[in-house]
Amino acid sequence: MANVAVVTGASRGLGRVIAGFLAGQDFDLILTGRDEAALAAAVAALSKNGARVEGVAGNVADHAHRKTLAEIGARRGGIDLLVNNASELGRTPLGPLAAYPIDKLDQVFAVNVFAPLALVQELLPLLQKREGLVVNISSDAALGGYPGWGAYGASKAALDLISLTLANELKDSGVTVISVDPSDMRTDMHQSAYAGEDISDRPLPDVTIPFWAWLLSQDRAAISGRRFRAQADSWELGA
């Protein structure tokens, strides 16, 4: 039986790279993203290389969309890997947290905090069935307190704590939970944060592939609850 992975935000950027890597590792893929055309293009490209891929366009903040992903996972017999990669940058241009519109903050937390947790809840029986791994994509903004990045950083800090708490709560169920900071990359989201600036000095998301290859080889019990950096001399942050 093939391993099954769900990757959110998979139509481009980091999510697309992770999906491509997993396809090369013979994972069956369930991919989602908000851009229907970009997601369809990703599915077509991966399927052409022989991967078994199903794409479902939608917003992970929507309950009905999460239910659909769970239904597909159930038809596949379980979930081995969930990558909560979909993220919302928030208001652009970036601005001070003291003046941040609360309705925009609601949107950031809906996608970056509530949706990943809700998707874990929805997929938990399927993850338990396969003793699966949950990867929540974080950010260095969760730790940095960078001016202008307060809303996004706060949401990722909350996701880090959710990851650790879930790891502690699910340790006896066979489900592993970690968070991963991919660091700066040349992506559409990063360009949106620096509109009009040249970000060509940032690496493409492909730079993280060695980390993903290493991660899949690790003892799950040993890594659960950890926070990792996909671009660093030492991938693990803290112990």
Q: Hey, which residues are catalytic here?
A: 138, 152, 156
Torsion of CA 123, 190, 179, 121, to 10 degrees: -20
DSSP letter at 224 equals T
What is the C-alpha to C-alpha distance for residues 128 and 97, in angstroms, rounded to an integer?
39
What is the C-alpha to C-alpha distance for residues 120 and 11, in angstroms, rounded to an integer?
20
Q: How many helices (H) and strands (E) does the chain have?
A: 10, 8
Residue closest to 15 by CA, chosen among 108, 135, 130: 135
Omega before 93 within 30 of 0, i.e. cis = yes
- In the three-class reduction of DSSP (H, G, I as helix; E, B as strand; rest coil), residue 120 is classed as helix
C-alpha distances in Å from residue 174, one per residue of 16, 148, 215: 27, 39, 17
What is the C-alpha to C-alpha distance for residues 228 and 179, in angstroms, rounded to an integer?
6
- In the three-class reduction of DSSP (H, G, I as helix; E, B as strand; rest coil), residue 34 is classed as coil
Instruction: Give, in degrees to the nearest 5, the angle at Cα 189 between 184 and 191.
Output: 75
